[in-house]
Amino acid sequence: MRFSLARSFAQLAKKAEKGSSSIAVTKEPTKKPLLEIHQLGNAELRESAKRISKVDDSVRTLIKNMLHSMYSAKGIGLAAPQVGIHKQLLVIDLDIENAATPPIVLINPEITEFGASLETYEEGCLSIPGVYLNVIRPSIIKLNYRDEMGRPKKMNADGLLSRCIQHEMDHLNGVLFVDRVMNEDDLNKELTEHGFNKKDVIALT
Ligand code: NI
């Protein structure tokens, strides 16, 4: 009786584990991440990403490799086009110092609703290291996406998470946060200071 009870608990636990299916990777920096992050000026960043039709092990391997690159670069978000892969996939972790918090994986994300209020917040990007500039975006979003097991999900996001999702989703359309910066003087100054070229910005504003 005790044995079988223990076994059924173990089976339940296993089932629950399969259900939650978080992608487990170390948050420690990897010496040589497999995937190199492209920088502003690289044409790969301007290509649109395609929907992922099947979420299989090759996608999950890509997710792990992207997470290693993101954690090694001390970033909180990374989109597949930043590593030259034009698929609608992004990874986010707003708690990179805490090993117990699982990362967020968004596949084929679609924003279904933007809140009416706008917010100004300073953004940075692993593809434009050192550059931090204010960007105005809607503060609240609702979205649909698939998780790393291919299951359809819905999410409401605000604050930093909403900001990060919108920034990463821009990458899927070949848009970079510097394209959205309104203050021309700040933009020129920051880019020049960090060795980037203004001609690589495609102004949206
Ligand atoms: Ni970025």
pLDDT in tens, 115-129: 999 999 999 999 999
d(CA 90, CA 63): 8
d(CA 8, CA 62): 34
State the pLDDT at residue 31: 83
How far, CA to CA in Å, does 152 sit from each of 45, 46, 113, 124, 176? 27, 27, 17, 29, 27
H or E element at residue 126: none
Q: Does the active-site annotation cover 44?
A: no
**Is the pLDDT at 18 greater than 90, yes or no?**
no
**Is the pLDDT at 11 greater than 60, yes or no?**
no
State the pLDDT at residue 17: 47
Q: Which of 123, 148, 168, 190 is catalytic?
A: 168
State the pLDDT at residue 49: 98
SS3 33: coil
Closest to 35 measured CA to CA, from 75, 2, 70, 74 = 70
Judge whether 201 and 179 are in contact, CB under 8 Å.
yes
Q: What percent of the chain has pLDDT over 90?
A: 83
d(CA 34, CA 62): 10
State the pLDDT at residue 101: 93
Å from CA of 66 to ligand 1 middle = 13
Å from CA of 15 to ligand 1 middle = 36
- Structural domain spans, the chain: 6-200
pTM of the complete model? 0.89
d(CA 203, CA 175): 10
Å from CA of 78 to ligand 1 middle = 6
CATH code for the domain defined by 6-200:
3.90.45.10
Å from CA of 24 to ligand 1 middle = 23
